[in-house]
Amino acid sequence: MDSGSYFERIVAARALLFVPGDRPDRFDKAVASGADAVIVDLEDAVAEADKDAARSHVDDWLSRGGNALVRINAAGTPQFDADLELARKHGCPLMLPKAEDPRVLAEIDVPLVPIVETALGIEAATALCAVKNVARVAFGSVDLATQLGVRHDDELALGYARSRLVLASTANDVAPPLDGVTTDLHDESVLIADVAHARRLGFGGKLCIHPKQIPLVRQGFMPTEEELRWARRVLTAGDSASAVDGQMVDRPVLERARRLLAQDQRS
């Protein structure tokens, strides 16, 4: 696997799709789903008794040219060393759950997407984002909510944690973080609202658990037509301080307009 090119793919991704590591029949289907990147999961999606078999399935698929991130089991678990060896063997990027200690991340020599999903991880967010091989971080909203004793869909209860990840990423010049999963697979309005909330806070993408979520997630993290019209009006005003639609335009506003148009160009 060309880990360098896949690193860039992760940085630019808006919709990333999980696929269970013990379901090799779904690996190629996940790749063909339209997701910006696929995450083959050896952790939560796989029962304890099936983890060795799942690792073998993933090893075989990667050996035959498969491309994906691999979510390994957390540091300190019985599977961690074997999972990490698998990632090193194929040079594939990995997702590390329960990320809390930057020293653990620093010892891993493949591209990383740490999942920050504990109170300790949130408090260590700036240090985690500073580790060299971190492409971007992901938010484990369900696990953190469980630890805190709150609902995983409570925007207010998890607002601080989400904003902390956005600030930590920006402070370290890391790509905007990936929001956690939306567990409701039937009501599209829930997913749309979740994406809008995450984007408003500064997230750049989202983890998906079903292929049907991908189009809505990809679209939701793109600039709206109204935003693009505003950006074009701002840029036509020139580089000096001016006013557009009754609002002052100066250098930071011009930069935001340029970023919006750049996001549209990479769609």
The annotated binding site for substrate is made up of 71, 117
Question: How many other CB atoms are found less than 10 A from the CB of residue 63?
Answer: 10
Q: Token pair of 212, please?
A: 């049907």
Contact 35, 14 (CB under 8 A): no
Binding-site residues for Mg(2+) = 117, 143
Binding-site residues = 71, 117, 143
Phi, psi torsion values for 133, nearest 5 degrees: -85, 5
